[in-house]
């Protein structure tokens, strides 16, 4: 734990015998390229160009809109009331809380909601969000949740890594608030709930025969997440 953050990182976010851990292990190279991307390392060091971060933030606003659509699809794909309530809770959290917090955070970087809403979607935004929706439409709720997992659980792992990394800079780092937001107890609770929901679906809707297909979905989603980081860096050099 870094004494400057007050964020504990000793509690596991997911069960070692659940689905996420073997997915992460099966796709280790692509996962590592995502969670240890140069964008993330430079964010932790405070050396990420502000233009790259602004571009990422604006596209993340557009991403959240499609993320909400994915949770709406999850409600439709649910087979039980418990599954429906979990998906509906995710949808409500994005629309009623997360979007507002994101807009407020972006305002601190001089970006208005109207400006972000008027932006065209970057290719990386289109690629990942449509992939998630396609997996949900073509498959079942488990396919959809696996496609979403790199985003929900990846951000928690990224923030935890940054908090643990002695190279992470806090004093004077303009991205400190971002790190602490995703390393904080509120987001960790969101990530833990997502991992538990994934485990429940694995137990009720799958068998070992499905793992390879699910791992391929997880791998592709991780690659697309890495491309999302790269989009921010590329915006500086375009």
Active-site residues, by number, are: 151, 225
d(CA 131, CA 138): 10
Long-range CB contact pairs, 170-177, < 8 A, 24+: 170/2, 170/4, 170/5, 171/4, 172/46, 173/44, 173/45, 173/46, 174/46, 174/50, 174/53, 175/43, 175/44, 175/46, 175/48, 175/53, 176/46, 177/105
Provide the b/e sequence for 31-60 (b: ≥16 CB within 10 Å): bebbbebebbbbbbeeebeeebbbbbbbbb
Q: Are 93 and 67 in contact (CB under 8 A)?
A: no
Provide the b/e sequence for 164-180 (b: ≥16 CB within 10 Å): eeeebbbeebebbebbb
Measuring CA to CA, how many Å separate 223 from each of 36, 172, 219?
A: 12, 31, 6
Q: At 163, list the tokens.
A: 């908090």
Q: Are 62 and 116 in contact (CB under 8 A)?
A: yes
């Amino acid at each position: 734990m870094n004494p400057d953050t007050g964020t504990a990182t000793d509690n596991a976010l997911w069960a070692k015998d659940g689905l996420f851990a073997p997915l992460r292990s099966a796709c280790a190279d692509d996962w590592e390229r995502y969670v240890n991307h140069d964008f993330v390392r430079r964010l932790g060091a405070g050396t990420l160009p502000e233009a790259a971060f602004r571009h990422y933030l604006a596209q993340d606003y557009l991403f959240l809109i499609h993320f909400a659509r994915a949770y709406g699809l999850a409600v439709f794909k649910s087979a039980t009331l418990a599954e429906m309530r979990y998906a509906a809770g995710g949808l409500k959290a994005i629309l009623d809380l997360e979007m507002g917090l994101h807009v407020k955070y972006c305002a601190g970087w001089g970006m208005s909601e109207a400006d972000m809403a008027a932006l065209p979607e970057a290719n990386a935004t289109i690629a990942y969000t449509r992939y998630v929706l396609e997996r949900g439409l073509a498959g079942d709720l488990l396919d959809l949740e696996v496609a979403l997992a790199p985003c929900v659980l990846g951000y928690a792992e990224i923030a935890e890594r940054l908090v643990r990394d002695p190279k992470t800079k806090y004093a004077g780092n303009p991205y400190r608030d971002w790190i602490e937001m995703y390393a904080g107890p509120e987001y960790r609770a969101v990530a833990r709930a997502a991992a538990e929901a994934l485990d429940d679906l694995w137990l009720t809707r799958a068998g070992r025969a499905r793992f390879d297909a699910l791992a391929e979905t997880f791998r592709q989603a991780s690659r697309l997440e890495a491309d999302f980081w790269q989009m921010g860096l590329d915006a500086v050099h375009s």
